[in-house]
Amino acid sequence: MGSIATTEEKKVTQIGGIYKANLTAGGLLVSESRKVADLMIRNVSGSDWKDAIQNQNILQTRSAASAIRKANLIRARLSSMSQELWEMLRDGDATLATQASFAAAIKHSRILGDYLDLVVREQFKKLEDKLSSALWDEFMSSCKHRDPLMVDFPPSTAMKMRTIVHNILFEAGYLKNSRQKTLVKMEIVPRLINYLKDKNESYVLRCMQVS
């Protein structure tokens, strides 16, 4: 996976309807998200933000461009949630931090959320334990019907999105293996459930409770 966005990826990230390629900068990025959450909780911005991300390289990336891209993706995800979730992510144990990061990723990416809500949920209902490539292809076609403004993603971007979505599901614990794509039933941490209910994040909670 390249660390720098192509011109095509930037274009399809910025335009279109509800379905955007806004997750191609990386996977769930839990460790990195803890660090960005800390910066956001401390209200670090401007030159201090740039110093932490680019000069100190707190995300431990290979290049400044990759650091900026990942930091911007994570900040966009977390900005859709409140500081209470940032604190769960920064201070929680591995399970809570992972699920908090996953909740923010779902809120940020409708493709990830709807894939869970419409495809993964149906597989659990059917007692099927695998996610096939055909299911992804069918889902992407259905997205176009639901969202006429969705751009036609270049093949390389579509393939990258598929890989990242399944990697995210693996990192979040919904898949035993990102290649074989064997599904696993998940239990959501009660503290996160209560947070999502209190904040009226019913869509995010529904997506997370697909099993």
pLDDT in tens, the chain (211 residues): 333 344 444 434 434 589 988 888 889 999 999 999 999 999 998 999 999 999 999 999 999 999 999 999 999 999 999 999 999 999 999 999 999 999 999 999 999 999 999 999 999 999 999 999 899 999 999 998 999 888 888 888 889 999 999 999 999 999 998 788 999 999 999 999 999 999 999 999 999 999 9
How is residue 152 written in tokens? 């036609």
What is d(CA 202, CA 34) in angstroms, rounded to the nearest whole number?
24
What is d(CA 15, CA 12) in angstroms, rounded to the nearest whole number?
6
Which residue, among 43, 49, 104, has the nearest Cα to 71 in the 3D structure? 49
Residue 3 DSSP label: S
Residues 191/96, Cβ–Cβ less than 8 Å: yes
**What's the pLDDT score for residue 16?**
53
pTM: 0.90
What is d(CA 114, CA 103) in angstroms, rounded to the nearest whole number?
13
Alpha helix (H) ranges present in the chain?
A: 7-14, 30-41, 46-50, 64-79, 83-91, 94-108, 110-114, 121-125, 133-146, 155-172, 190-198, 202-208
Residue 32: CB atoms within 10 Å: 21
What is d(CA 76, CA 22) in angstroms, rounded to the nearest whole number?
10
**What's the pLDDT score for residue 158?**
87
Residue ranges per structural domain of the chain: 7-208
- pLDDT tens digits, one per residue of 102-147: 999 999 999 999 999 999 999 999 999 999 989 999 999 999 899 9
Residue 203: CB atoms within 10 Å: 15
**What's the pLDDT score for residue 7?**
40
How is residue 53 written in tokens? 């991300």
Residues 180/170, Cβ–Cβ less than 8 Å: no
CA atoms within 13 A on the CB side of 145: 5
7-208 is classed CATH 3.10.20.30: no
Locate tokens 């956001």: which residue?
40
Which residue, among 114, 102, 110, 118, has the nearest Cα to 174 in the 3D structure? 102
What is d(CA 97, CA 93) in angstroms, rounded to the nearest whole number?
6
How is residue 12 written in tokens? 């399809």
